């Protein structure tokens, strides 16, 4: 009998990460749920899934990504899939340059870029041993000039290029891909001024005429995790938004 695969999904206590964890678990994959802060939600999700554990870790902090990976391997004895879903943003108008302070840039890059790098480097030996894969959750903002803020968009552009570099470096043993969501209806928008109007605008503009759902991204992550001849790809999952002028 083939041994069950094991997936570590960072930032998986809610939103896209939680949907990814559920989708992978639905295929019989053992899942390690993670968050930096939302412990109760993370533990509840792990309890909901058939064979999952929760590990609290802030992947942006020194040593924490390595501790998280080792915890996953200690729990299940292997690691086959790493999904880097942990991410943060700040909603800052692009023309408000003064509001995008150096501290905000550092905070966003620490999680969105260094967090991905630290988790991949910690996981790489285990993924090589299993012939596994990495799927990074990026953003359409890293491909087109948009997004919640300039620091966020630039951080996701960095993730996209890191994805390609790692795919070239870690192949053939490990595949590395990314999904780049457009606007997705997640808790990030809860209570945000203008969020409903922005969603309505996107739904009216994109060819598929709706805002994305976390489950849409989860399916794309699942597909890339199982696509044995795809690596170095940044897959836009935006309802066709990239086709707009």
Q: What was the pLDDT predicted at 61?
A: 96
Angle between helices 115-130 and 150-170 (to 10 degrees): 20
Cβ atoms 159, 138 nearer than 8 A: yes
The whole domain housing 98 covers: 6-235
Starting at the edge strand that comes first in sequence, how are the strands of the sheet with 175-181 ordered? 52-56, 30-35, 6-10, 81-84, 133-137, 175-181, 234-237
Sequence-distant (6+) residues with CB within 8 A of 236 are 140, 143, 180, 182, 242
Q: What was the pLDDT predicted at 135?
A: 98
Give me the active site residues, please. 152
Residue 244 lies in a domain: no
pTM as predicted: 0.95
Cβ atoms 210, 114 nearer than 8 A: no
Q: What is the mean pLDDT of the chain?
A: 95
Predicted confidence pLDDT, tens digits, the chain (245 residues): 468 999 999 999 999 999 999 999 999 999 999 999 999 999 999 999 999 999 999 999 999 999 999 999 999 999 999 999 999 999 999 999 999 999 999 999 999 999 999 999 999 999 999 999 999 999 999 999 999 999 999 999 999 999 999 999 999 999 999 999 999 988 777 777 778 888 888 899 999 999 999 999 999 999 999 999 999 999 999 999 999 87
Residue 193 lies in a domain: yes
Phi, psi angle pair for 138, to nearest 5°: -100, -135
Q: What was the pLDDT predicted at 195?
A: 81
Q: What is the pLDDT of residues 79-90, one digit of tens each?
A: 999 999 999 999
Tell me how far apart the alpha carbons of residues 185 and 58 are, in angstroms, rounded to a whole number.
24
Residue 197 lies in a domain: yes
Q: What was the pLDDT predicted at 188?
A: 72
Phi, psi angle pair for 54, to nearest 5°: -115, 135
- E runs forming strands in the chain: 6-10, 30-35, 52-56, 81-84, 133-137, 175-181, 234-237
The number of folded domains in the chain is 1
Q: What was the pLDDT predicted at 107?
A: 98
Residue 240 lies in a domain: no
CATH of the domain at 72: 3.40.50.720
Q: How many CA atoms, within 13 angstroms, populate the side-chain half-sphere of residue 44?
A: 7
Sequence-distant (6+) residues with CB within 8 A of 95 are none
Residue 245 lies in a domain: no
Residue 207 lies in a domain: yes
| Nearest residue to 56 via CA among 15, 48, 45 | 45
Q: What was the pLDDT predicted at 2?
A: 63
In the numeric block, the tokens 């150096």 are attached to: 102
Residue 1 lies in a domain: no
Tell me how far apart the alpha carbons of residues 144 and 6 are, in angstroms, rounded to a whole number.
33
Q: What was the pLDDT predicted at 193?
A: 78
């Amino acid at each position: 009998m083939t041994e069950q695969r094991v997936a570590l999904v960072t930032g998986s206590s809610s939103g896209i990460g939680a949907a990814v964890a559920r989708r992978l678990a639905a295929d019989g994959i053992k899942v390690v749920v993670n968050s930096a802060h939302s412990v109760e939600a993370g533990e509840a999700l792990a309890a909901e899934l058939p064979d999952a554990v929760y590990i609290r870790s802030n992947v942006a902090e020194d040593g924490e990504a390595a501790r998280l990976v080792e915890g996953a391997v200690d729990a299940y004895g292997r690691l086959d899939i790493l999904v880097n879903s942990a991410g943060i943003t700040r909603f800052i108008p692009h023309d408000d340059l003064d509001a995008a302070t150096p501290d905000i840039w550092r905070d966003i890059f620490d999680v969105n870029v260094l967090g991905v790098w630290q988790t991949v480097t910690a996981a790489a030996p285990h993924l090589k041993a299993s012939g596994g894969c990495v799927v990074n959750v990026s953003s359409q903002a890293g491909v087109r000039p948009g997004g919640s803020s300039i620091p966020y968009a630039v951080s996701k552009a960095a993730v996209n290029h890191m994805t390609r570099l790692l795919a070239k470096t870690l192949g053939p043993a490990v595949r590395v891909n990314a999904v780049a969501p457009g606007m997705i209806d997640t808790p990030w928008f809860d209570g945000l001024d203008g969020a409903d109007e922005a969603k309505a605008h996107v739904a009216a503009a994109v060819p598929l005429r709706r805002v994305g759902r976390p489950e849409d991204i989860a399916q794309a992550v699942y597909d890339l995790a199982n696509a044995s001849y795809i690596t170095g790809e940044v897959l836009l999952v935006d309802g066709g938004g990239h086709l707009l002028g």
